[in-house]
Chains A and B, each alone.
Chain A
Amino acid sequence: MSIIVFGLTFLIPGDPVVAILGPDTARTMESLEVARRELGLDQPLPIQYFNWLGKALQGDLGRSTRNKHPVSESLAQRLPVSIELAVVSIIIAAIIAVPLGILAAIRVNSRWDLTASLISVVGLAIPNFWLGILMIWLFAVQLKWLPASGYTSVFEDPIAGLRHMIMPALALGGGASAGLMRHVRSSLLEVLRDDYIRTARAKGLQERRVLLRHALKNSLIPVVTVMGLTLGGLMGGSLIVESIFLVPGVGSLLVTAIFHRDFPVIQAGAMVLALFVILINLGVDLLYAFLDPRIRYE
């Protein structure tokens, strides 16, 4: 809880008045004062903070200083889009990372292992938005296979939805898979050294069965945690990827807000993303106890 409260305090900006009125226009100190009073910014910071928090808890996140839209409405519209993108991305990341990680672990130090680790190292170094740009160039501009940008809900038109979603999700998930793969590999390697694996092999079980039933199941427990953390990280990466692909999610809303110094939107958008990350982390912790009965929370 303290984390959340701290996070909230942290998001209170320095002086939005200057930003709203524009820094270069020759504003007098008086007009600054008036604007401050209107916005309730002349009050001490803790009071401001609790005012804001009180309203936020009632679902009132203020209005955009740019187009006067209620922030909560635009967020409610855009959050599902961001969640959809994040979920598709993490699925893609898992599809890439899990098989490659397993392959690298069961053939340690082989050519497969080397290739997999090379891919992951390169994947970690490539900025996801650059990957996105390159994909647009290849698949949209050159090959004309996919639309360069835009969004259709998968629920309305599954095919068009996927065609729009696949590139942003690959850009986000591709980068995320690099880190994930390393974890799959090291986790599986660790489990493979355990005694019960030796027992399973000694019993004469098929190697396939040992791997799938005994080793993989247990080794994926820590991977789930990492996947949760990765999902949180994706929310950060989604900012730029969403704005490249013009996906109307919270990320692109935030980026536009940043360009226009639209502080209510920045505050609320960042808040929602951060809360989302915290919720995911909490969910992962609970899931963890479910997957591994040895872990108990008091």
Chain B
Amino acid sequence: MPSSTRESATNKTDVAASAVAPVSQARTGLWHRARRNHQMLIGMACVGTFALLALLAPVIAKDPTALDLMNDLLPPSTSAPFGTDELGRDQFSRIVYGGRVSLQVAMLAVGIGLVFGVPVGLIAGFYGERIDNLTMRIMDGLQAFPAVLLAIVIASVLGSGLTNAMIAIGIVSIPGFARLMRGQTLQIKETDYVLSARAVGASNRHIILRHILPNGVAPIIVAAAVSSAGAILTEASLSFVGLGARPPTPSWGGMLQTGYPYLGTAIWLSLFPGLAIAVTTLGLNFLGDGLRDVLDPKLRRGYN
């Protein structure tokens, strides 16, 4: 049995060869389009800066948890560019390390959303009928709740802590990916190349993994960028109500919470962490929009 499937697979590569050629051409065009897409460049610059800062944190930042009670609530200066907080900790360093938390959350939460959402969408869309109905009703149920509310409820059930927050945000992001992948699958399922793959005897598994997934993945990538932005916002909300990273681990939402009582005297404590959140989410949204234009120019025409 395995040998025959293998044979049919090689046959199909021949059949598909003609279809593969324009794809690789499009790939070279991709890079070209990406470089001319300003939105994408701005997005990459914003996200890249924070990613770089997070990576190089030990090199460029001081210990984010080092207390210095003699120098608390200092306004921004050359030695502490973003000022110090109520415990004298250097806020710049805390933002840099907080970036690690935010990016980690974004990656893991979106990872959970992808790992569960994409297969669910593929299976529901491909097999249809009962499976489709059942899974999509569950997804409807999950989506009936506002994301922040659901994440807060899940996180409060799981208990505070960064891992639980990431899981909560990840669960919340599953239905979006599942729906999107299902829609893509429904569309691609009806295309001629899936029909021809079926005609040469490809298995369902092969069709799903080799035809539907690669052809339907572009909007998923875009959605991943946009939901990373959402994940960072949600994490900030969770940390703000004390359900995210536990102190003293610096996180942007947590910093806003501890800085809030000092609003009248130390605005910088409320200003910079929020700015970090806004710039990162803005960058990710730009990146998503840019990717949409680059990966699928057809969508752009539809949008305007």
Contact = CB atoms under 8 A, between A and B. Distances in A.
Contact of A277 (B138, B144, B241, B303): B144
A244 B229 CA distance: 22
Interface string B238-282: 001111000000000100100010011001001100100111011
B282 A121 contact: yes
A259 B241 contact: yes
A10 B144 CA distance: 12
Interface in A100-153: 108-109, 121-122, 124-127, 129-130, 133-134, 136-137, 141
B145 A189 contact: no
Contacts of B285: 121, 124-125
B294 interface: no
Nearest to A255: B241
Given A6-B141, A127-B236, A133-B256, A121 B146 contact: no
A3 interface: yes
B286 interface: yes
Contacts of A133: 256, 260, 263, 270, 274
A266 B153 contact: yes
B: interface residue count bin? 35 or more
B34 to A, nearest CB: 19
A258 B138 contact: no
Contacts of B296: none
Contacts of B253: 127
B282 A239 contact: no
A239 B240 CA distance: 11
A10 B149 CA distance: 13
A57 B279 CA distance: 45
A226 interface: no
A236 B277 CA distance: 19
Main secondary structure of the interface of B (DSSP, over half): helix
A7 interface: yes
Given A133-B256, A274-B149, A278-B144, A240 B278 contact: no
A244 B260 contact: yes
B119 to A, nearest CB: 20
B233 A121 contact: no
Given A126-B278, A259-B241, A7 B141 contact: yes
A267 to B, nearest CB: 8
B237 interface: yes
B260 A273 contact: no
Interface centre among B147, B263, B279, B303, by most A CB within 10 Å? B263
B281 A125 contact: yes
B267 A137 contact: yes
Contacts of A255: 241
Contact of A137 (B156, B158, B270, B282): B270
5 contacts: A10-B141, A235-B149, A236-B148, A244-B260, A270-B152
